[in-house]
């Protein structure tokens, strides 16, 4: 039986009906508490399976990139599940799945995550959303492995954030500076949503990473206010729908929430708002007011009294 099962793993055709009948016979032989199926077959089957996958996974990870290894692991785990369903006893299912998780995931997860030119950091850098989704699905079978993925994600975000903060061209231009921050936020929002299925732990990791690097530079609050000022002066040109405008402003509010120096932003925002009042460049939008996160703009009430209250075109940007 073991030889037949190994042959099937190698892609050869075997008589599954005969294997199923043999398994049923072993199960039926169990009397007076004696588990013939386990003692005469299952224990040896699990030992042979562990050795088979120890050898195969070790060889495969040494010869293939991370994404290919993940596909192989996914395939092997699925095959073992199908094998139990086809001709082994149902009591074997949990044991074989746990064995596969150990040999294909737990033993090698750090090597996979940190694999050069194909591991986790490389996937983030090259926007490999499906590969990270596959990694998340597999590693979720062994939850402790996900902590390392979260750590790598935070490190990648902080490194990319530092690159923005240290870019002399972007530092000279507040709009380019904040645009790069928003692009980075959008990039990792996509990972969290599509690859990591909106996991609360990955959402928290994203929040902590952004707070870490954004608040290392005291210019961020000022530049965010200048970015908002620029957008309102231009009327958010180039956006074809209210939904696009709402999405852009939601991103701004999200960055605002990451700031520790919210009072600094408030002071700059008041200055820029005053200039727009004097030059008649306020925009009659209600988008920011409609934002689900508008409650976080705690200074809105203190600025509102500056605005005219008896006009049909009362500015609504607050």
**Segment 238-256, tens digit of pLDDT:** 555 667 767 777 878 888 8
Please write the tens of the pLDDT for every residue from 28-65: 887 655 689 999 999 999 999 999 999 999 999 999 99
> Which run of H or of E encompasses 253?
helix 242-258
- Give me the mean pLDDT over the 203-218 stretch: 93
Q: Sorting pLDDT into bands at 50, 70 and 90, what band is 208?
A: very high
Number of H helices, E strands in the chain: 18, 0
Reference 58, options 100, 108, 117, 112; nearest CA is 108
At residue 285, does pLDDT exceed 60? no
* Superfamily of domain 1-107, CATH level 4: Cullin Repeats (1.20.1310.10)
pLDDT band (50, 70, 90) for residue 136: very high
Q: What is the pLDDT of residue 310?
A: 41
Query: In this structure, what token pair is assigned to residue 184?
Result: 């980075």
Residue ranges of the domains in the chain?
1-107
**What percent of the chain clears pLDDT 70, i.e. is strictly above it?**
82
* Res 312: pLDDT: 41
Report how far residue 166's alpha carbon sits from residue 180's, in angstroms, rounded to the nearest whole number: 12
Query: CA-to-CA distance for 138 and 73, rounded, in angstroms?
Result: 8
Task: Indicate the pTM of the whole model.
Answer: 0.84
pLDDT at 98 over 90: yes
Sequence-distant (≥ 6) Cβ neighbours of residue 87 within 8 angstroms: 16, 17, 19, 20, 23
% of residues, the chain, pLDDT over 90: 64
Q: Give me the pLDDT at residue 274, please.
A: 74
DSSP E strand stretches across the chain:
none
Tell me the pLDDT of the chain averaged across its residues: 86
């Amino acid at each position: 039986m073991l030889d037949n099962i190994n042959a099937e793993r190698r892609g050869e055709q075997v008589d599954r009906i005969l294997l199923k009948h043999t398994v049923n016979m072993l199960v039926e032989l169990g009397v007076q508490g004696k588990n013939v199926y386990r003692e005469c077959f299952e224990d040896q089957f699990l030992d042979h399976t562990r050795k088979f996958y120890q050898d195969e996974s070790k060889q495969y990870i040494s010869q293939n990139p991370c994404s290919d290894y993940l596909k192989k692991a996914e395939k092997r785990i699925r095959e073992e599940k199908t094998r139990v369903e086809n001709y082994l006893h149902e009591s074997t299912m949990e044991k074989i799945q746990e064995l596969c998780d150990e040999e294909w995931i737990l033993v090698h997860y750090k090597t996979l995550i940190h694999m050069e030119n194909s591991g986790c950091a490389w996937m983030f850098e090259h926007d490999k959303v499906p590969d990270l989704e596959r990694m998340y699905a597999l590693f979720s079978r062994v939850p402790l492995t996900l902590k390392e993925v979260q750590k790598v994600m935070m490190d990648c975000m902080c490194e990319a954030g530092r690159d923005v903060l240290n870019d002399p061209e972007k530092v000279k231009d507040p709009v380019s500076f904040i645009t790069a921050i928003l692009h980075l936020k959008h990039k990792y929002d996509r990972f969290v949503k599509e690859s990591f299925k909106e996991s609360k732990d990955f959402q928290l990791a994203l929040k902590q990473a952004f707070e870490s690097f954004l608040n290392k530079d005291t210019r961020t609050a000022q530049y965010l206010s200048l970015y908002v000022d620029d957008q309102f002066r231009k009327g958010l040109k180039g956006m074809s729908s209210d939904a696009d405008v709402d999405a852009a402003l939601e991103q701004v509010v999200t960055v605002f929430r990451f700031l520790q120096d919210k009072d600094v932003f408030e002071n700059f925002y008041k200055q820029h708002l005053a200039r727009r009042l004097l030059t008649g460049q306020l925009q009659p939008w209600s988008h920011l007011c409609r934002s689900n996160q508008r409650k976080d703009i705690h200074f809105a009430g203190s600025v509102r009294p500056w605005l005219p209250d008896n006009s049909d075109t009362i500015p609504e940007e607050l």
